[in-house]
Amino acid sequence: MKHSHTGYYQYPTRPVTPLVPRMALVSGVVGAVAVGAGAAARGIRLVKAGEMTREEAIRNTFKEAAGGGIASAAAAAVAGTLGATGILGFLALVATATGTKYLWDTAVASEKK
């Protein structure tokens, strides 16, 4: 849109809508459930094999579910805020989720020491 008083063009910006926080929350819940289910399935197998105690499996399931939920929520918030779609949106999701989960795992691992 060209401003008559300046002669310059102002390109429209994409405002963050109220849908982005809701999308991030829903994505976080779905991510927590999906990652938690995978961790629970792995924990069941390891407990049956005698390689992990039941308490360790439960603790690991909650830890992984929380990390997956946080990573999913962060990825959805970044992609939604940037308004990225297509391959750029997908790359933003993957990069943000991977980086967030890496930071989560590093923080949780440092607490064990």
pLDDT at 18: 76
How many angstroms separate the CA atoms of 83 and 81, rounded? 5
pLDDT at residue 68 above 80? yes
Chain Cα centroid distance, residue 16:
18
Residue 85: predicted pLDDT: 80
User: Could you give the residue ranges of the DSSP H alpha helices within the chain?
Assistant: 19-48, 54-82, 86-112
pTM above 0.85?
no
- 16 pLDDT band, cuts 50/70/90, is low
35-59 residues labelled b (16+ CB within 10 A) or e (exposed) = bbeebbeebeeebeeeebeeeebee
- Band of residue 113 on the pLDDT scale cut at 50, 70, 90: low
Q: What is the mean pLDDT of residues 20-30?
A: 94
